[in-house]
Amino acid sequence: MANHPEARRLIISYAHSEAYVPLTRVILAKMGYPIISAEEWEDLPIRDRERTPRLRIVDERRLGEICEDAGSSAIPIIVLTGRHGVTGADSRIIGAVGRPAGLHELYRLIQQAIEDTPRSTPRVPTHLPARCRRGEQEWRGAVLSLSENGCLLRTPEPVSLGSQIEISFELPRAGTIETKAESAYQLVPDTGLIFHQTSAAFREAILSFVEESLAVN
């Protein structure tokens, strides 16, 4: 993906590969956010380098390499830092994550930096059989997409906006996931659910499933 600067979003990295959790850059590239190193950027043909990057990811130890000329001052920066974080002295810095930077932490900041309608977590398309319950009523459906925070549910049973249900579904290797959810929106004919009161173990299982799915797609 480093050789495709025409991808939807282009991000320049001033950090060694060890500053990222393995597969983080690979997965983000597949999601439309290619991260290429500053050295790779310099090696691109001039016509490709005429395109302005949307974002820079910079190891705090290399911030001195980023000049504040007129052409680059508007490009936001995410800093890869140690446990003490960064100060707000540089107006270009919009956020920071600890090294090594993981997929979900970077995704949140990238979304905030360059998307008009940012998402907090990545999601993947699925077709997972689901069991739903509301009081004494139970029925079956299918999870059509899944993220840490919620899912898109297809079901023959109407689910009114704002209503609360319980949902369970199976994930490979993780087994049965059970959580409470609220109907937050409609994507006709389907219903968007927001998870709540999800246990830490179930949330971690969902995160792992999403990350693994993105890595192989």
pLDDT of residue 7: 46
pLDDT of residue 91: 83
pLDDT of residue 193: 93
Which structural domains are found in the chain, ordered by start? 11-114 (3.40.50.2300), 123-216 (2.40.10.220)
Q: Amino acid identity of 167? A: I
pLDDT of residue 73: 62
Task: Report CA torsion sign: 61, 22, 93, 55.
Answer: positive
pLDDT of residue 154: 95
pLDDT of residue 179: 97
Rounded Cα–Cα distance for residues 77 and 73 (Å)? 10
Mean pLDDT by 10 residues, the chain (217 residues): 51 95 91 91 81 90 77 80 75 88 88 82 93 95 94 91 94 94 86 93 94 86
3-state secondary structure of 38: helix
3-state secondary structure of 110: helix
Token match 């060890």: residue? 18
Please state, as a whole number, how many other Cβ atoms lie within 10 Å of the Cβ of residue 189: 8
